Amino acid sequence: MLSFEFTCLMCFCMWMSLFSRSEAEVFTAISDVEPLIETHQRIINDVNEYIAAEETRLSTLKKRLKLYKEEHEMAMADIPNYLANPINAFTLIKRLTKDLEKIRQLSQIGTENSNIIAKTHEDLKYPVLEDLTGAAEALTRLQETYELNVQDLSEGLLNGVVYSKPMSAGDCFEIGKALYEVQDYTNSLAWMTEALRKYSEKDELSDYRVIDYMEYIALSHYYLGDTKSALHWTERIVELDPEYQHGPGNIKLYQKIIAEKEAKELNGEVVEKQTPKSPVFDDEYEKELQIYKVLCRGELQVPGVISRRLKCRYLTENHPFLKLAPIKMEYLYLQPDVIVFHDVMSDDEIDFIKATAQPRFQRAGTKSGENGAPAPSKYRIGKVAWLEDRESPVIARVSQRVADMTGLSMVTAEDLQVVNYGIGGYYVAHYDFSTKQDFIEYDPNGDRIATVLFYMSDVAQGGATVFPKLGLSVFPEKGAAAFWLNLHPSGEGDLATRHAACPVLRGSKWVSNKWIHERSQEFLKPCTLEYQEEGILRKLPKPIPTSHR
């Protein structure tokens, strides 16, 4: 007969093998989070079977199951809307990582039925701890960009509207812990403080002690340079637990730092404030970052001298078919011109492109890998796939439509890139053309002369495309496409086209883009010595006002 220790060891190995086989990066695309609903349902079935076999086993399991069922019912009522809330998406990932680990540990205590829950479902998707960390960082990104209050977020509030059930103390603790481990002490402190506010010793579902919360609060204060607060919290921990291992050493260290600082102040010495290590950014970057956040919130308007000249019109040039089916064309900015073409992708086309792209999704990257190859980056959270014209008449038709809209040739254009942004998904400010810093190898087709960005979903909150140097925000509109030229007529990159994708606060953002290259445009848009020009489509007549923006 197997010993209890051997049985526990076997169960532990089964659990570890589950996480070693799982692929990370679920958090980088909302479309990848949706399959977790099925995983969630299967886990519920496992727990039900386990409790049926062990009716007297640990009432905590039943309470956890009740909580999960309530959340699952909410999700099943409207899965896309449920997962569109980043708080719900984070909670789901936590349930299937940290909470599932706890359930399996409980099931292994003195029961021969632990294999019911310890088993691995090979046909299901499981998140891993990297996904939990990514989701925690995403919530912080949303908090900072959209000026959200941590307490509101923990109560399920997004901009004053209740979208989800309140988070538990344990949920907040896991966010704070994940942020602490990536050295984001400011936000870790805020979430740990909120976790402590929610903490109750009577909560049987709590996996942590009160001193666990206090320890992270004390250490965060220390790394933020607030040694007195760190000392205060450490002393409180020692009062609650005199056997606290790190208490005496930390208290002695904090007292020494405080005494040395006070001695220097008495001697009139200038005391440098202790600050946490952080990336060094120049003033230009910080200025752009602040403008970016304001634009993401939609708080900045295009200057009146520009907005008064913006017009809408019907595009009937470029192709005879447009005489019968003109395209609605709206100018959002002038010099450089940024245009939105409305209703240029149908729902059927969007559904086909999504379905075709999703099985091929890979994590989005930037050209920072070896030889300029795309490498995963925290500066772009999403998943991408590439679709070729020859694959389907639908893809070819979209490319032809781009040619009709822009009057440019698609002969050297890149394949259609499809992107689904994840929890808090975003892309930092960048240029679509090659700069001297990232131009690694000459492209025989020339640089990217223009960009067409299709919006394949509406986004409830957030997700705008913003141009920091222009003060322009373009919010997603399903079926529409944004268009701008990346290069001046001389072939030099237009620095004013620097743009970024804002974090998705609520919803799932799907886009696809077509990058058009210089080669094959020689007779359509010839290169000149001019550095700038008036009007994005020189071959077209001036806009005819049909309605003001």
Can you say how many angstroms the Cα of residue 325 is from the centroid of all Cα atoms in its chain?
A: 37
CA distance 64 to 37: 17
Report residue 45 as tokens: 């079935």
pLDDT at 419: 96
> What average pLDDT score do residues 212-221 get?
96
pLDDT at 547: 35
CA distance 338 to 317: 18
State pTM to two decimals: 0.78
User: How many domains does one find in the chain?
Assistant: 2
> What average pLDDT score do residues 41-49 get?
87
Q: What is the pLDDT of residues 416-449, one digit of tens each?
A: 999 999 888 899 999 999 876 555 456 788 899 9
pLDDT at 58: 60
Predicted confidence band at 113 (pLDDT cuts at 50, 70, 90)? low
pLDDT at 411: 94
Phi, psi of 518 (to 5 degrees): -65, -45
**3 state SS of 8:** helix
Q: Which of 167, 183, 218 is the last residue of a domain?
A: 167
Cα distances from 199 to residues 93, 150, 363, 450, in angstroms, run: 21, 15, 36, 54
Rg over alpha carbons for the chain, rounded to the nearest Å, is 27
Residue 282 domain flag: no
Phi, psi of 365 (to 5 degrees): -140, 180
Phi, psi of 478 (to 5 degrees): -55, 130
Residue 430 domain flag: yes
Strand partners, 462: 504
Q: What is the pLDDT of residues 161-196, one digit of tens each?
A: 777 788 989 999 999 999 999 899 999 999 999 999
Report residue 490 as tokens: 């001389």
Of the candidates 463, 149, 498, 136, the residue with the CA atom closest to the CA atom of residue 289: 498
Report residue 159 as tokens: 């901009």
In this structure, the answer to whether residues 372 and 519 fall within a common structural domain is yes
Residue 180 domain flag: no
> What average pLDDT score do residues 91-96 get?
89
Q: Which of 167, 197, 223 is the last residue of a domain?
A: 167
Residue 493 domain flag: yes
Q: To the nearest whole percent, how much of the chain has pLDDT over 70? A: 80
Residue 21 makes CB contacts below 8 A (sequence gap 6+) with 120
Contact criterion met (CB below 8 Å) for 419 and 522: no
Question: Nearest-5° angle of CA 127, CA 186, CA 258?
Answer: 135
| Structural domain for 371, as ranges | 304-548
Of the candidates 525, 540, 542, the residue with the CA atom closest to the CA atom of residue 450: 525
Q: What is the pLDDT of residues 344-355, one digit of tens each?
A: 999 999 999 999
pLDDT at 132: 86
Predicted confidence band at 6 (pLDDT cuts at 50, 70, 90)? very low
Q: What is the pLDDT of residues 397-414, one digit of tens each?
A: 999 999 999 999 999 999
Mean pLDDT over each residue of the chain, to the nearest integer = 83
The residue to which tokens 């490498």 are assigned: 375
Predicted confidence band at 111 (pLDDT cuts at 50, 70, 90)? low
Q: What is the pLDDT of residues 485-540, one digit of tens each?
A: 999 988 889 999 999 999 999 889 999 999 999 988 876 766 665 545 444 443 33
CATH number at residue 491: 2.60.120.620
Residue 174 domain flag: no
Residue 359 domain flag: yes
Q: Which of 167, 185, 213 is the last residue of a domain?
A: 167
Report residue 432 as tokens: 């679509």
> What average pLDDT score do residues 309-323 get?
87
pLDDT at 8: 42
Residue 218 domain flag: no
Can you say how many angstroms the Cα of residue 356 is from the centroid of all Cα atoms in its chain?
A: 22
Residue 353 domain flag: yes
